């Protein structure tokens, strides 16, 4: 009888812990989504932790349980970017040539950022990476977007659409550096040019370099 009660109590405790974890994760995502909206509406610098707490409707304890400061939120925002990129790719026609897939994806990234992310937020994101001098979240090789770029390039090489004399690692690195460079320039110039337009034009030039037919 005692063993049955102990087992029942353990089961109830486990169920309660699982529910608490789910609620905690739900609150964390709510904070991330709300912060994203406020950063776009007010700008990153002008948005305070109290603004986020008030908009979410949580307590300071609820916020600081998940994030040590506003700056800590930056590394969590990559999940919002990757979620959008994943949705776009999942709806893409996979029968398209790999270079076309890569171009459409890069084009979407540029236009998505231009239309949904403020230049001061991007500047803060890049600054946080430079200060920490480590590849956390946005620059992590485990990021969905980075793995996706590598996947498309690898498939393109297998189908002999993309040159094979340069490794997947090197080609994907060039693609990502090109994208970051244009985005960084957009930040420095405070969004004074069309990121989508110039990002697409620049990527078109690199696509020519990647074509398998260019290898002699």
Digit-coded pLDDT (tens) for 166-202: 999 999 999 999 998 898 899 888 888 999 999 888 8
Q: What integer is the mean pLDDT of 42-66?
A: 92
Q: Indicate if 85 and 170 belong to the same structural domain.
A: yes
Q: Indicate if 64 and 107 belong to the same structural domain.
A: no
In this structure, what token pair is assigned to residue 52? 């986020």
Regarding pTM above 0.85, the answer is: no
Torsions phi, psi for 190 (to 5 deg): 55, 40
Give residue 168's domain range. Answer: 75-214
What CATH code is carried by the domain that includes residue 136? 1.10.357.10
Q: Indicate if 31 and 94 belong to the same structural domain.
A: no
Q: Indicate if 144 and 186 belong to the same structural domain.
A: yes
Give dist(CA 15, CA 40) in Å, integer. 38
Torsions phi, psi for 215 (to 5 deg): -85, 125
Q: Tell me how many domains the chain contains.
A: 2
| Angle, CA 77 vertex, CA 76 and CA 81 arms, to 5° | 135
Q: Indicate if 101 and 38 belong to the same structural domain.
A: no
Q: Indicate if 85 and 52 belong to the same structural domain.
A: no
Angstrom distances, CA of residue 66 to CA of 20, 95, 118, 128, 206: 14, 42, 24, 18, 40
């Amino acid at each position: 009888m005692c063993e049955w009660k102990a087992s029942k109590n353990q089961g109830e405790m486990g169920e309660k812990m699982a529910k608490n974890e789910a609620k905690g994760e739900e609150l964390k995502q709510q904070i991330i989504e709300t912060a994203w909206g406020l950063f776009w509406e007010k700008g990153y610098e002008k948005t305070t932790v109290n603004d986020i707490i008030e908009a979410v409707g949580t307590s300071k304890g609820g916020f600081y349980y998940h994030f040590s400061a506003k700056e800590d939120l930056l590394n969590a925002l990559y999940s919002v970017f990757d979620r959008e990129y994943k949705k776009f790719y999942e709806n893409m026609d996979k029968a398209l040539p790999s270079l076309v897939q890569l171009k459409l994806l890069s084009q979407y990234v540029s236009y998505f950022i231009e239309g949904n992310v403020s230049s001061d937020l991007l500047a803060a994101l890049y600054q946080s990476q430079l200060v920490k001098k480590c590849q956390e979240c946005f620059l992590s090789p485990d990021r969905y977007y980075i793995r996706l770029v590598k996947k498309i390039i690898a498939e393109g090489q297998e189908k002999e659409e993309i040159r094979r004399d340069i490794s997947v690692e090197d080609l994907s690195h060039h693609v990502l550096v090109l994208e970051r460079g244009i985005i960084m320039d957009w930040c420095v110039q405070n969004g004074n040019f069309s990121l989508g337009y110039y990002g697409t034009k620049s990527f078109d030039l690199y696509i020519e370099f990647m074509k398998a037919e260019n290898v002699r």
